Amino acid sequence: MTWAQADVVDVLLDQHRQVKTLLAEVREASGDARRRAFDDLVRLLAVHEVAEEEVVHPVARDAIDNGTAIVDDRLAEEDEAKHALAELHEMGVDHAEFDERFARLAHSVTRHAEQEESREFRVLRQRLGAAQLEGMRGAVKAAEDVAPTRPHPGIGESAPANMLAGPPLAVFDRIRDAVRDWRNR
């Protein structure tokens, strides 16, 4: 799959797979490697959840049956995960309670993604036209431009990546601003 062919659902599903990979990496790594994997996870979740919150969930609210209740549940889960990431960042990867707390987050994030896939994305793909699905992909692209979630060939650690290794709530806010700018253009 390339960006040229992908619609927003393809991109979000691909990010769910990347999230699972990073959750496993954080769980298995230690020290600096664990810290880097955790920062990567924060960036990827910020890009992913902010694009969903700003562009995908609002459309789903109207487009799917029982959309309000389904989307409200997902938003509550996203808010909880964001605050759990902030707590884990504050705690630090070497803290005695990190493993247990991170395992709880990993479980909730995985379940959240499954719920989106079965109750939201599948229906969006049935009900929305190809043009709308492709248009929404722009939100994810705008978010990824601020915080690249995969290595760009020929460039080492990117400046934005370094700047975005900070506190999770600040990373989420920075990306939300970029997605809102994209939407207002």
Residues found near Fe ion in the complex (CB under 5 A): 49, 52, 116
Closest CB 12 distance from Fe ion, rounded Å: 6
The CA-CA-CA angle for residues 131, 133, 136, to 5°, reads 105
Specify the residue, 29 or 123, whose C-beta has the smaller distance to Fe ion.
Answer: 123
Helix (H, G, I), strand (E, B) or coil at 3: coil
Closest CB 96 distance from Fe ion, rounded Å: 29
Specify the residue, 49 or 144, whose C-beta has the smaller distance to Fe ion.
Answer: 49
Closest CB 31 distance from Fe ion, rounded Å: 29
Spatial contact of 61 and 136, defined as CB atoms under 8 Å apart: no
Specify the residue, 29 or 115, whose C-beta has the smaller distance to Fe ion.
Answer: 115
Closest CB 110 distance from Fe ion, rounded Å: 11
Spatial contact of 168 and 158, defined as CB atoms under 8 Å apart: no
Specify the residue, 26 or 93, whose C-beta has the smaller distance to Fe ion.
Answer: 26
How far from chain centre, in Å, is Cα 57?
13
The Cα–Cα gap between 171 and 88 comes to 14
